[in-house]
């Protein structure tokens, strides 16, 4: 039995380069919850063309894009931010990265100008795994784990995130980071 890195909330799951699942091809997933009941996370690098007000017309105006968090419950809206406990009921995932928080407080903070687009990332849907499923996927080599850095969420361009995270892991992952997404079969 191979051992794999400990999976905890606040870590990244990075799809191995040849994953063919269309939902997770070249995906970088921020793991927000991992326990014996299952796991929840959000794909950080798959933009949609939507804004929050497209989904919730009464939401305060904020020029923040919505990302595709995953294939589960795509009629739900989630958010990850860097304003910490200023947004009550949020959960710290790692330094400078918090998940969720009180929705009414979120709207107030946006209206007040205390949360701006560079402070928050919205997701429609999420990535979920049932009990033991993620451990099985780790055993089969579907995912590589990496440490989460707030810059990945708030500073890195989404289309370069997968390569950047792989490169930052060093060693053999630097080579993997340069593999083109669509390798020719010539």
Residue 178 lies in a domain: no
Residue 100 lies in a domain: yes
Residue 5 lies in a domain: no
DSSP state of 33: E
Residue 179 lies in a domain: no
Can you give the CATH number for the domain in which 35 is found? Answer: 3.40.1740.10
Residue 6 lies in a domain: no
Which residues of the chain register pLDDT less than 50?
Answer: 1-2, 184-186
pLDDT tens readout for residues 62-108: 998 899 999 999 999 999 999 999 999 999 999 999 999 999 999 99
Residue 34 lies in a domain: yes
Q: Which domain holds residue 120?
A: 11-159
Q: Which long-range contacts (CB under 8 A, 24 or more apart) does 34-37 make?
A: 34/7, 34/8, 34/9, 34/134, 36/131, 37/131
DSSP state of 124: E
Residue 2 lies in a domain: no
Q: How many independent structural domains does the chain possess?
A: 1
Residue 20 lies in a domain: yes
């Amino acid at each position: 039995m191979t051992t794999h890195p400990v999976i905890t909330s606040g870590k990244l799951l990075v799809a191995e380069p040849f994953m063919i699942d269309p939902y997770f091809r070249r995906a970088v997933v921020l793991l927000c919850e991992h326990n014996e009941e299952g796991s929840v996370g959000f794909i950080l690098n798959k933009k949609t063309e939507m804004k929050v007000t497209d989904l919730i017309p009464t939401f305060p105006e904020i020029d923040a894009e919505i990302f595709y968090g995953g294939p589960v419950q795509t009629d739900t809206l989630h958010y990850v931010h860097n304003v910490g406990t200023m947004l009550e009921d949020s959960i710290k995932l790692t330094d400078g990265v918090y998940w969720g928080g009180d929705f009414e407080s979120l709207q107030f903070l946006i209206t007040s100008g205390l949360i701006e687009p560079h402070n928050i990332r919205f997701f429609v849907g999420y990535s979920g795994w049932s009990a033991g499923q993620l451990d099985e996927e780790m055993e089969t080599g579907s995912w590589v784990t990496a440490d989460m850095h707030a810059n990945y969420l708030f500073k890195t361009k989404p289309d370069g995130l997968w390569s950047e995270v792989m490169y930052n892991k060093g060693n053999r992952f630097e080579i993997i980071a340069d593999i083109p997404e669509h390798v020719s079969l010539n």
